[in-house]
Amino acid sequence: MTDISDTLSQQIKDAHVNKQTLNIQGNGSKKFYGNPCKGRSLHTSAHTGIITYEPTELVITARAGTSLQDINQTLVDQNQILGFEPPDLGNSSLGGTIACNLSGPRRPYAGAARDFLLGCRIINGKGDIMHFGGEVMKNVAGYDVARLMAGAMGTLGVLLDVSLKVLPRPQGEITIHQQLTKQQALSTLTQLRSQPLPITAACFDNTGLYIRLSGNVTAINAAHKDIGGELIPDSEPFWRSIREHKHAFFNNNQPLWRLSLPPAADINLDGESMIDWGGAQRWLFSDREADHIRSNVTDAGGHATLYKNSTTDTEFFNPLDHNMLKVQQQLKKAFDPENILNPGKLYRAL
């Protein structure tokens, strides 16, 4: 029986020879994300399954088409978790999650998807199967190359297999709520960042500030006493609603922007907003021009991504300066010389 990876490799080799562009498609849960991409569909969703899992080593390796649901269930059985808490936007695959470098509420406290990536196997734009990194945390060979794939949106290669570091599930976890204004919430979060507290998520919506504490039960109870606030029973659905964009805030048909900002930045833009990641990420629904939003965010020390919108031709990701664009173009040429893999998906100039 022909291995699926060999079949995908041959399809890319043929496309390379014919200079035919390819639109990489997994489970389709994130097809809204990034610039529209034209080309013949290259389906990867059948490349599934967990290859190795070593709970004592805190490492799991799985094929890129494996669903996050399957991976999470396997980890739950061993009382472990994906530390970057990725969103499952409707049967999301591991490969798509890493390709988009998507992380959930735990990201500013534990790290991004990229930080947990130990190694990967890919197919480059010439159809060559390549392996970068390792499958143990002590192996650092090729780490930088492997991590290039996180957030590359498939423009540098088709992910085949991914090795990730995992974390033990916290012994205890609680969520507390404080009725605060936006300015009060930002001030509180600034004060809390200077203290050694077991915070693993912090979000402000229209009802106030939510803070999740995880770890040793004694430590989280002591932190709750220091911070104050009302204990929220069974808070997991709330954080899932933030992670999966099921919270009432996300019921809006305007363009959705993701703003990356210094956590203490107090920025006012027209539209409905939510504070996530302890202040470092802001969600904004706004019909304002992209240049207006991006210039204001840049002035505040951050950058803006058009996360979801089907009615505009605006670049989804923050435009690169000349030098950074040149570096990206050189990387693209090294991995995909004929520019056949998801052309324009990340940036239209790539």
Q: 135: pLDDT confidence band, cut at 50, 70 and 90?
A: low
List strand residue ranges (DSSP E) for 92-223, in order: 117-123, 129-133, 158-165, 167-168, 172-178, 199-205, 208-215
Hey, how many other C-beta atoms are within 10 angstroms of the C-beta on 66? Answer: 23
Are the C-beta atoms of residues 121 and 160 closer than 8 Å to each other? yes
Shared domain for 28 and 86, answered yes or no, is yes
Structure tokens at 62: 């799985």
Structure tokens at 211: 């803070």
Shared domain for 140 and 156, answered yes or no, is yes
What is the pTM assigned to this prediction? 0.92
CATH number, residue 141: 3.30.465.10
Sequence-distant (6+) residues with CB within 8 A of 208 are 177, 178, 179, 180, 185
At 91 the pLDDT is 87
Hey, how many other C-beta atoms are within 10 angstroms of the C-beta on 90? Answer: 10
Whether residue 176 is contained in a domain is answered as yes
List strand residue ranges (DSSP E) for the chain, in order: 22-25, 40-43, 50-54, 59-63, 80-81, 117-123, 129-133, 158-165, 167-168, 172-178, 199-205, 208-215, 230-232, 256-260, 272-276, 281-285, 303-308
Task: Output the CA–CA distances (angstroms, integers) from residue 342 to 8, 100, 331, in the order listed.
Answer: 15, 13, 14
Structure tokens at 157: 């290669």
Structural domain containing residue 291: 256-308
Shared domain for 63 and 85, answered yes or no, is yes
List strand residue ranges (DSSP E) for 268-322, in order: 272-276, 281-285, 303-308
3 state SS of 96: helix
Shared domain for 228 and 267, answered yes or no, is no
At 143 the pLDDT is 42
Mean pLDDT of 36-44: 92
Domain boundary among 187, 221, 243: 243
For residue 197, how many C-alpha atoms fall within 13 Å in the half-sphere facing its CB? 25
- Tell me the per-residue pLDDT of 73-106, one tens digit each, with 9 for 90 and over: 999 999 999 999 999 988 899 999 999 999 999 9
Hey, how many other C-beta atoms are within 10 angstroms of the C-beta on 299? Answer: 10
Report the DSSP pairing between strands 40-43 and 22-25.
parallel
Sequence-distant (6+) residues with CB within 8 A of 251 are none
Residue with tokens 């090294």: 334
Report percent pLDDT > 70 for the chain. Answer: 96
Query: What's the order of all strands across the beta sheet hosting 199-205?
Result: 230-232, 172-178, 208-215, 199-205, 272-276, 281-285, 256-260, 303-308
Shared domain for 140 and 57, answered yes or no, is yes
User: How many domains does the chain contain in total?
Assistant: 3
Question: Residue 126: which of 151, 148, 83, 156 has the closest Cα?
Answer: 156
Shared domain for 85 and 21, answered yes or no, is yes
In whole angstroms, give the CA distance from residue 192 to residue 59: 32
Sequence-distant (6+) residues with CB within 8 A of 181 are none
At 141 the pLDDT is 47
The strand pairing partners of 210, in sequence order, are 177, 203
DSSP 93: B
Shared domain for 83 and 98, answered yes or no, is yes
- Tell me the per-residue pLDDT of 147-163, one tens digit each, with 9 for 90 and over: 999 999 999 999 999 99
Whether residue 315 is contained in a domain is answered as no
Mean pLDDT of 311-321: 85
Whether residue 345 is contained in a domain is answered as no
Inform me whether the pLDDT recorded for 140 exceeds 50.
no
- Tell me the per-residue pLDDT of 256-310, one tens digit each, with 9 for 90 and over: 999 999 999 989 899 999 999 999 999 999 999 999 999 999 999 999 999 998 6
